[in-house]
Amino acid sequence: MCLTKLITSKIFKKYHKVRISTFLMVILCVLLLSVQTTFAGDFKAVVVKENITPKVPKQLLGYGARLSEGILDSIYHQILILDDGNSKFALVSTDICVLSPATYDKVAKLVEKKFGIVRSNFWWSVTHTHSAPEVGAPGLPEAFMGERYKHPIDTNYTDLVTSKLLDGIEKGIQQLAPASLGVGWGHSSANINRRARDIDDVAFLGMNPDGAVDRRIGILKIVHKEDHRLMATVANYAIHGTVLGGQNLLISGDGPGVVAKYVEEKSGAPMLFINGAAGNLAPIYSVYPDARSGRMNMLRRLLGDKILMASKEILNYEDQISFSASEMDFLTPMKEGLKWPEALNEYIVDEKGTAKTIKVPVRFLNINDKIGIWASPLELFCEISNEVRERSPFPYTFYYGYTNGWLGYMLTEEEWEYKGYEPTVSPFVPNAGTRFGETVLSYLESELKSK
């Protein structure tokens, strides 16, 4: 009996250990799966399109002060929501000209309060069409072009634009679906350097075929995870929204709007047009009195088809996505004699009560350590973003301009010598552009890459 009990006891202990080991293995597998679900990035995405076309005449922003007399084509918010399983990111493309950083700040607070999307994860970019209504207070343009803003601020339209944006984000969060992400490059010759110079070497707004240009298209392609049906295209290209000139009184998304509509019709999914470093880049057909004489529909062929072609060439997709967004302030002296708008006092540093320093907020987004996107509220000259892209540690580096507000033109130091329109309406000193590019590169190579 004693021997039997001993053998039975040993067998029970061995069996018990096996059961415990098996149980622990099961628990470990569950934990590992749980960690993967929470942190590895089961990617979800959605795009929501909201019509913001006004039903009554509105003051148009771009060129001189003028009241609209009708609608050429509708204008929209295109709202992209990304979710990597850890946080949500909202990218908005809106068919308006420029936006005050103060207006962005107000909306960003609402977005964070209502949806928990923090400021660094909410990017509001505008296409820079010159044929869309004003939104919010004028901001920095009032410092240079005060004669345009003798009329009251249109709070009704600003409220409409804000409510449509918030509604779109709310819908998007509810409609998030499993997705995969692809990335690629395209090329288009739809733009041209607009800093024309005669033999006197004084720049004027025209065409300079020998000037610097950026003709790359940066493509993000989002497809359904299961069947790879297209959900959205994000196309990043540098071009002014100025096919239509100051004589036009019809509301329009201009060239970017025409291209977005065309790509959506051909692909079956919405397209966000995100402008780039277009400070010195115009469409090759520019400032015409109407869309027909400006051949605005030609941009369907010149740019729309090139976006579609580049999108088709993207064959590799990832559904395990992680992203990290961050922000830094670039500090640079203000141009002497500039009267800074009080509404933008958050964007300056007052040193000893006299000399002022401008704070330019720059946003960054690291996606899977392969895509590095940076954005600023500037009309940046393309030479600066071109150099950042060439020297960037990320295989895909995109610059999103006109994002989260507008703080004027930032030129290369060389272009200041040729004077003209852009230096006149720039709040910066001549060497700001060089230092800005180097500062952004340093951030891409260190802080953003480490994330």
Which residue ranges make up the annotated binding site? 128, 240
Tokens 């343009």, residue?
141
Which stretches within 215-342 are classed as H helix? 254-267, 298-299, 305-312
Do the beta carbons of residue 131 and residue 62 sit within 8 Å? yes
Give the residue among 52, 54, 10 at the shortest CA–CA distance from 165.
52
* Integer Cα distance of 134 and 98 in angstroms: 8
Q: Are 242 and 130 in contact (CB under 8 A)?
A: yes
- Do 264 and 256 form a contact (C-beta atoms < 8 A)? no
Q: Are 118 and 324 contacting, i.e. CB atoms less than 8 angstroms apart?
A: no
95 within 8 A of 256, measured Cβ to Cβ: yes
35, 41, 44, 49 alpha-carbon torsion, rounded to 10°: 130
Under 8 Å between Cβ of 174 and 287? no
Look-up of token digits 């200041």: 416
| Of residues 294, 274, 348, the one with CA closest to residue 101 | 348
Alpha helix (H) residue ranges in 224-269? 254-267
Q: Give Cβ neighbours of residue 387 (< 8 Å, ≥ 6 apart).
A: 437, 441
| Sequence-distant (≥ 6) Cβ neighbours of residue 399 within 8 angstroms | 236, 276, 277, 373, 374, 375, 380, 385, 388, 389
Amino acid at 259: V
Q: Which long-range contacts (CB under 8 A, 24 or more apart) does 346-351 make?
A: 346/101, 346/102, 346/105, 347/101, 347/407
Distance CA 225, CA 101 (A): 36
Binding residue ranges for Zn(2+) = 128, 240
Which of the 8 DSSP states describes residue 54? -
Q: Residue 394 carries which side chain, given as an amino acid letter?
A: F
CA distance 186 to 191: 14
CA 216 to chain centre: 16
